Structure 1
Amino acid sequence: MTALLRYQAALLVRSHRWLPPLLLYGAFLGIGVQTGQPILDSLGYAAAALLPVAAWLVRVGVTQEPAAARDCAAAAVGPGRAHLASVLTGLGAALVLGTAGTLFVAAVSDPHTADHRQEVPVPEATVAGLLAAVACALLGTAVGALCNRPLLRRPGWAIPSTMLAALLVSVAGASPANAAVSGLVDGSHSGAVPMPLLPLALTGAAAAGATALACVLSSRRS
């Protein structure tokens, strides 16, 4: 699996298809995060912005190989393992972006509540922001795994489905990613720093289930 991940990561870096998601995430942060804003509000915004970016990066990961190269990899290690490596590569790229974005936001934000009356501990807030970012990246990975090949092979269906699903799971009240982000925003008003452990567990289960389904179908449809 390590060799597969290195292979997929090298493909991603050389293809430069990571650049549009990176620019999108940078645009989100540039528009929504400003120096001196309350730290928990800004961390929540940065985490939420990562969800569609993660879905996009997973789409890049599962579609970047030419068909002939994909068939060779599937013949060598099995289509399920090959597909798993492509999904994990997209998730890994999203986690790198999310970590960098969270650390940047923590560095430029004001460590106080929204009313600027209560101080917020930066280390705890940063950890909470990282956990929320991971939760959003995991749910974005689930979206990317379910809305692209092998379930949806045609770009005309896959791309709008990915965009719509990412939007829905970002704003739905029952979404664990929404819960993680809302917890940070609520903490910005109360002064308490929430650790989104339950949303993280739920999004992890969703990502694992969606990826497992995609890998099984990849094996059957190869």
Structure 2
Amino acid sequence: MTALVRYHAALLLRSQRWLPPALLYAVVTGIGVRAGEPVLGSLGYAAAGLLPVTAWLVRVCLNQEPPAARHVTAAAAGRERVHLAALLAATACAGLLGAAGTLVVTAISAPVDAGREVAVDRLPAALAGLLTAAVCVLLGAAVGALTTRPLIPARAWSIAAASLTALLALVAAGSPARYAVTGLVTGSLSGTVTYPWLPLAGAAALAAAAAALACRLTAWRE
């Protein structure tokens, strides 16, 4: 499995198809995060941008392999394992992007609450930001897995479904991503750092279920 993940990660990096989603994340974060702004609110904004970016990376990674090469790797390792490796590679790349963004945002933001009256320790804030980023990455991976092949093979419908589902995953009541991001934003009002352990567990369960469904359908339909 490790070799398959490295193979898909190498394909992604060499194709440079990771650039558009990475640039989108940089632009969204650059627009919404300003140097000197309260750290918790800035981390929440940066984490939210990871969800659609991860869904995009997953779509790219699952569709980047030429059909002939896909048949060869599937014959050698099995369709489910190859599909899972592509999902893991995309999720890992999104995770690295989110970790880098979280560290940069923590470094340039002011360690204070929204009212600039209460000091906020950077280290706990960074940890909360990383956990929230992980929630958004996992949920974005689930969105990407469910809105491309084999469930939605048509490119136009896949893009539309991914965009709409990513938006709903951010704003819908009960969404782990919304709960985690809201926790950071709300904590910024009082200078309180909370860790989104429950949303993280929920996002991990949803990502695992989406990956299992997508891999199983890959074995049946392709």
1:130-169 paired onto structure 2 within 5 Å = 130-169=130-169
The answer on 1:113 being equivalent to 2:116 is: no
Rounded to whole Å, the distance in 2 between the matches of 1:140 and 1:27 is 18
- Matched residue type, 2:160: P
Show the counterpart of 2:15: 15
Rounded to whole Å, the distance in 2 between the matches of 1:78 and 1:218 is 10
Show the counterpart of 1:191: 191
Rounded to whole Å, the distance in 1 between the matches of 2:76 and 2:70 is 10
The answer on 1:213 being equivalent to 2:203 is: no
The answer on 1:85 being equivalent to 2:85 is: yes
1:45-124 paired onto structure 2 within 5 Å = 45-124=45-124
Q: Residue by residue, what CA displacement relative to the aligned partner does 1:81-102 show, whole Å, maximum 9, x if unpaired? A: 0000001111011001100000
- Matched residue type, 1:53: V
Q: CA offset at residue 163 of structure 1?
A: 0.5
- Structure 2, unmatched stretches of 5+, are none
Rounded to whole Å, the distance in 2 between the matches of 1:152 and 1:70 is 18
Show the counterpart of 1:5: 5
Secondary structure of the equivalent of 1:117? coil
The answer on 1:26 being equivalent to 2:23 is: no
Q: CA offset at residue 173 of structure 1?
A: 1.9
Q: CA offset at residue 104 of structure 1?
A: 0.3
- Matched residue type, 2:201: A
Task: Report the TM-score, using the length of structure 2 for normalisation.
Answer: 0.99
Show the counterpart of 1:39: 39
- Matched residue type, 1:11: L
Task: Report the TM-score, using the length of structure 1 for normalisation.
Answer: 0.99
Rounded to whole Å, the distance in 2 between the matches of 1:12 and 1:100 is 18
- Matched residue type, 1:175: S
Rounded to whole Å, the distance in 1 between the matches of 2:136 and 2:79 is 27
Q: CA offset at residue 6 of structure 1?
A: 1.1
Q: CA offset at residue 190 of structure 1?
A: 1.6
Q: CA offset at residue 4 of structure 1?
A: 0.3
Rounded to whole Å, the distance in 2 between the matches of 1:5 and 1:211 is 14
Rounded to whole Å, the distance in 2 between the matches of 1:123 and 1:72 is 47
Which segments of structure 1 move beyond 4 Å, counting only runs of 4 or more?
none
Rounded to whole Å, the distance in 1 between the matches of 2:173 and 2:41 is 18
Q: CA offset at residue 49 of structure 1?
A: 0.5
Q: CA offset at residue 192 of structure 1?
A: 1.1
